[in-house]
Structure 1
Amino acid sequence: MALTTRVLSVSVPVAEQDAALAFYTEVLGCELVTDVEVWPGARMVEVVPPGSAVSLVLLPPDSEIPVAIRLGTTDAQSAHDAIRESAATLHNDELIRLDGIPAMVSFADPDGNGLVYLEDADRNGPQ
């Protein structure tokens, strides 16, 4: 069974979130999905191109929210275990569980690219 169900979002490092939000919505025509302070000092701004199932998360490079590709998985614990046994760099010893957010695991592939698995509510993957 494949651990990855789909690509959920891709982070884009931006110098200033408000300016980036204006560019992505007003110039590129993306739609605002999320603009919240996840915890004090950690703002998550998410836009999506019309008709796309994959969103863009606009984050400052020094954000506590990982600049990463976010992938869906049907079983975050199995994904965590598989990553622990691989050549990837695991960023957390246990699953991350925050109120209102699916269980997740943050890691880097062998080349250092940031990745996050989120337990996907849509267990059937892309439609």
Structure 2
Amino acid sequence: MPISSILTITVPVADQAAALDFYTRVLGFEVRTDNPFPMGRWLTVAPKGAETTLLLASWFPDMAPIGGLVVAAPDLDALAIRLREDEIACEGPSEQAWGRQLLFHDPYGNGFVVSQA
């Protein structure tokens, strides 16, 4: 039987509370799960309406940051301004052959490509 969906992507973070603040306040994600877990919290976030969640996991100290998480936003210019206000370096928005995109890394080095929605 084939796999039917991607439920959760584990994103390594050093500090779950600070990561939660970044993902909710800066990126506008919503909390999907916040439960006690033997090694911290089982803390998942996602954009409103999205099926796939990001697990903000602090219990993998040797896990390398993830690169190339591709997400979409309706207003790349506004997102770029918001990221820069929070001192998050980003490239773009820029026009590419495949459309507009914005690149940035979260405070833990996880890389994002944001496409114009």
TM range (shorter): 0.3 to 0.5
Q: TM-score, normalised by structure 1?
A: 0.44
Q: TM-score, normalised by structure 2?
A: 0.48
